[in-house]
């Protein structure tokens, strides 16, 4: 289901052509897509990968748009090694002197937000080896400039139910709110 069809279906299903609903449909779609992401973060469309090179002496790396890190790997001398995920205190106990360098073996999530996630690795890199991060992030949502998405193409009933649930909440339509919540669930 593409963006135009979804907008039309929301208004047709709810039988509402008010300017308030029409003006809010993009926000309703965005909220529905975020709800789907929060409930089903392991869908294939949310899995992403990024690669770069380590910087000698740098322990913190930002993974833009990442909401959750799945795994981190480092390739050193053509050998791929997956880093172990540990809590912050373990990392500090394991590698208390961040100026001492070595080949990274563990990582921790330092902080996370909607703009991305910062990971800290230890030991502090001693070479510009390549690293890869597999992570979870929302896909680009439907809009006037993005007419298709994986969810719209592969899970249109989930998307429509989520949008109708959000639109019913927006309209304060309790009679359809429970119906579309049940359909979405």
Name the β-bridge partners of 71. Answer: 134
Comparing CA positions, the residue from 134, 136, 132 lying closest to residue 54 is 132
Packing angle between helix 174-184 and helix 156-171, nearest 10 degrees? 160
Q: Is residue 137 a contact partner of residue 69, using CB atoms and an 8 Å limit?
A: no
Euclidean distance between CA atoms 104 and 181, whole angstroms: 46
Q: Which of 61, 87, 93, 90 is nearest to 74 (CA)?
A: 61
Contact 96, 157 (CB under 8 A): no
Per-residue tokens: 145: 């400039």
What's the pTM? 0.81
- Tell me: pLDDT of 113 over 90: no
The pLDDT tens digits for 58-89 are 999 999 989 999 999 999 999 999 999 999 99
Give the pLDDT confidence of 17-55 residue by residue, as tens digits. 889 999 999 999 999 999 999 999 989 999 999 999 999
pLDDT digit string, tens, across residues 152-163: 999 999 999 999
Q: Compute the mean pLDDT over every residue in the chain, rounded to the nearest whole number.
A: 93
Proportion of the chain above pLDDT 70, given as a percent: 100
């Amino acid at each position: 289901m593409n963006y135009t069809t979804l907008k039309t279906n929301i208004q047709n299903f709810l039988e509402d052509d008010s300017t308030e609903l029409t003006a809010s449909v993009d926000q309703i779609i965005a909220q529905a897509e975020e709800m789907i992401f929060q409930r089903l973060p392991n869908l294939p469309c949310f899995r992403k990968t990024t690669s770069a090179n380590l910087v000698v002496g740098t322990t913190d790396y930002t993974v833009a748009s990442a909401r959750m890190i799945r795994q981190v790997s480092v390739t050193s001398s053509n050998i791929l090694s997956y880093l172990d995920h540990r809590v912050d205190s373990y990392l500090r106990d394991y590698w208390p002197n961040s100026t001492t360098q070595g080949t990274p073996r563990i990582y921790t999530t330092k902080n996370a937000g909607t703009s991305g996630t910062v990971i800290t690795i230890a030991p502090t890199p001693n070479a510009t080896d390549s690293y890869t991060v597999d992570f979870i992030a929302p896909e680009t949502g439907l809009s006037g400039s993005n007419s298709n998405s994986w969810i719209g193409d592969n899970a249109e009933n989930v998307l429509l139910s989520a949008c109708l649930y959000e639109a019913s909440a927006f309209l304060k339509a309790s009679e359809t709110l429970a119906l579309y919540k049940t359909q979405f669930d």
